[in-house]
Structures are given as C-alpha cells and as structure tokens.
Structure 1
Amino acid sequence: MPKGPTKRRPQTTARLLQAAQETFAERGFYGSSIEVICERAGLTRGAFYSNFRTKEELFFALFDLHAQRVIDRLTRAVEELNTAGDPVRSLLMRMGAVDEIERRWYLLSTEFTLHAIRHPETGRVLAEHDRRLREEIVLVLARLFDRLGRTPTVDLDLLARLTAAVHEGSLAQSLVEPDSLAPEQLAVTFLPPLIDTVSRPAHPEA
C-alpha cells in the first residue's frame, strides 16, 4: 500500500504548478524566486526539490500543461473539419483564439525563450518540447489537407513552424495594438492562399 508521501505527491506537484503559474504571471520568470513560489503554495523548499530540480524544470512542466491545452483545442478543431463550411478559416480561428490564459502564457513563454537563447542547454530542452508540440500541429495540418482534397508539396514540419511564427508574431502585434489588429487577422488573411500555394489537388482531373 502506498505510503503517505507517495499519495500526497500529486497534490504537492499540483500546488507548486498552480503557485508557479500565478507567480510567473505576476512577476515573470526572472522575477519569480523558488522561495516566493513555495510561500504561495504553502510548501517548503524541501517539497519543491522533491518534485523539481530547478525553476526551469518547473517551467517545462507548465509548458507541457499548456501544450496539452493547445492540443485539446486543435483536436476539437479537427473533429469539426468535416462539418465546417470553410475548414481553413474554422481551424485558423480556433488556433488564433486568445483568452487571458493565452495572453499570460505568451508573455511568460516569450521571456523564457529569450532565456533559452542565452543558455544553449536550456535552448535544447525547449526545442525538444517545441518539437513534440509541433508533431501534433503536423497531424492537424495533414488532416486539413486531406479534408481539402489536396496534397502538400512542402515539408509539413516546416509549414507548422511557419504557422506558429505567424501566430506568435501576430499575437505580439495584437497585444501591443489591440484596437488595430485582432490576434487571428494575419493568419486568416494570408494563410488560406498559402495553403493553396504549397499544395496540389490530390486527384487532378484527367
């Protein structure tokens, strides 16, 4: 039978993640110390180090939680492709949806990306987490092309990178100029014709 600490571990981890999410949102990655996170969670430093080795490792746990949220949203979008009148627009609108959670995550992840650029080992870990998330986006793109009856003529991993770049760049501009640019506007305007450019009919007429 599991001992007490083993049964409590998931609860401790959840409290640390919640506290980190709130603290990072308020102070940013650099401004959030392990001490402050532990204090907010009502836990000791020992409890922290029994779950995470570093603050970076805690960030990556939050990254995986956010990635799952993105994947769940994309999965719902894929399920709607067969019934959507305009599947490309439907998917892009779903991908471009931004709420307060997304806004906070963008601010934190942007700061952490700069941190990862300055620290190559951290950058390699971030790249691996990005790669796993991008694999899910590739699956969504493949389903989209299938729904459109088109065959991609470019590497879908590169297209996923481009799609992410458009989304993140558009979001940055939208957060600075919320009255001038909606988060999904650039993607909805320019990605549909791009989809046609980087693909061909799957069953061309004879």
Structure 2
Amino acid sequence: MPKGMTKRRPLTRAALLQAALETFAEQGFHATSIEQICERAGYTRGAFYSNFTSKDELFLALFDAHSERIVQRITELVDSIAAADLTLQRLVDALSDIDPAERDWYLVTTEFTLHAIRDPQAAQVLARHDARLRTEIARGLTEHLGRAGRALTVDPDELARLLIAIREGGLAQSYVEPEQLPPGGLERRFLAPLLTALSTERSAGPAATQR
C-alpha cells in the first residue's frame, strides 16, 4: 500500500466510525445501510470494506473505542483526586459521572444487544468484547478501591457485571424520565453503601484480601 494511503487510513476509519455512530443513533442499527454511512463520512463503499467486513464488525470497533474512553474517563477523574482526599464517596462520584453524549451510544448499543440476543453468533462475539471491558473495569475498580483504603471481598469480575447492569438499567430509566432520575442518579445514591458492603478496610487484616 502506498505511504499516502497508509497515513490516511486512520483518518478514514475514524470518519467512518463517527458517521456510523451518528447514523445508528438517528436511524437505528438495522435501518442504517453501509451506503448511508459512507455518504455521511464522505467515502466510498470500497473505503468501508478496506476497514470493515460488515456493520457488525464496525459496531464492535465502536464498542471497543467507547469502552476505552469510559475506562480512561473514570481513571482520569480518579487520578485527579489527591491521595489524601480519595474517599469512597469521591470514587463513587467518579463512577457516577455520565457524559451527555452517552445517550447516542446507549441507543446504539441497546439495539445491537437485542440483535445479539437473537443471533447466537453475534452474542458470542459481543460476549468476548464485554469480557475485555469487564476485565478493565475490575482491574480499575480494584486499584481505585485500594487507593481509597479498601479491598474487595467479592469476585471483581462479578462486581463489574453488577456495576454495568446498574449503569445500563439506570440509564434506560433516566432517558425515559430524565427529570425524575438524572443520569448517574442511582449510582450516586446506592454505590457507596454497596461498595462498603462488598469491601473491607485494608487495615482489617487477612480478611481484607481479595478472594
């Protein structure tokens, strides 16, 4: 491949991903055609297929990029807190932070999840990407809690599943009833007592170690 093409490829891919996210959010995953994505991004079908084999693969690329942004956002928020000030509540505040742009992603990922529930092959692939995200969440949560002076007493991966379920379920209710439940409201209200119940002070002795 010529050097110019190599340099342009990341820009082409980024434009296609952004166009796909916007079009999926507006029209739905199934209703959106590859041609519409290409038209919005300003590229040809050839450019699309040089980067992705299908809409499913494109969605999974969006999923991984979004996962990386979420983990990075939380990490940056926690890292911005001085060690002496990192309490459990300050950690919960960081975990409860919801970007206003999250609504578009929620629409897209919810529809793809329903697609995966109906399609076993898509479910297997999505599950692998979910597992990678949970690993990062579990690792980060263990590390952040440790900085706050606490250690988990439950399996970090299972807790990551629970936190994802709370986040996704809470957002569903928030986007239907934004005035009654602002995004992140459930987390701000209940994560502190939940994490307190599922962890222990690190100075408490051997029982504070993870299982």
Amino acid at match of 1:108: V
Alignment of 1:161-200 (within 5 A): 161-200=161-200
Higher deviation after alignment, 72-81 or 173-182: 72-81
Q: Deviations over 1:140-159 (max 9, x none)?
A: 21123312323221101101
Match of 2:132 in 1: 132
Q: Deviations over 1:74-131 (max 9, x none)?
A: 2113313544746333233323323332111011111110011111111111111111
Question: Where do 5+ consecutive residues of structure 1 fail to align?
Answer: none
Rounded to whole Å, the distance in 2 between the matches of 1:11 and 1:148 is 40
Alignment of 1:81-160 (within 5 A): 81-83=81-83, 85=85, 87-160=87-160
Quickly say closer, same or farther: Cα 1:61–1:137, change in 2 above 3 A: same
- RMSD, matched Cα: 2.0
Match of 1:72 in 2: 72
Partners of 1:38 and 1:48 within 8 A in 2: yes
TM-score normalised per structure 2: 0.88
How many corresponding residue pairs? 205
Q: Deviations over 1:14-37 (max 9, x none)?
A: 221121122112111111110111
Rounded to whole Å, the distance in 1 between the matches of 2:84 and 2:189 is 18
Rounded to whole Å, the distance in 2 between the matches of 1:81 and 1:7 is 38
Match of 1:30 in 2: 30
Amino acid at match of 1:37: I
SS in 1 for 2:68: helix
Question: Where do 5+ consecutive residues of structure 2 fail to align?
Answer: 206-211
Identity of aligned pairs, percent? 55
TM-score normalised per structure 1: 0.90
Amino acid at match of 2:44: T
Q: Deviations over 1:167-188 (max 9, x none)?
A: 1111111111111112222112
Rounded to whole Å, the distance in 1 between the matches of 2:177 and 2:84 is 30
Quickly say closer, same or farther: Cα 1:84–1:180, change in 2 above 3 A: farther
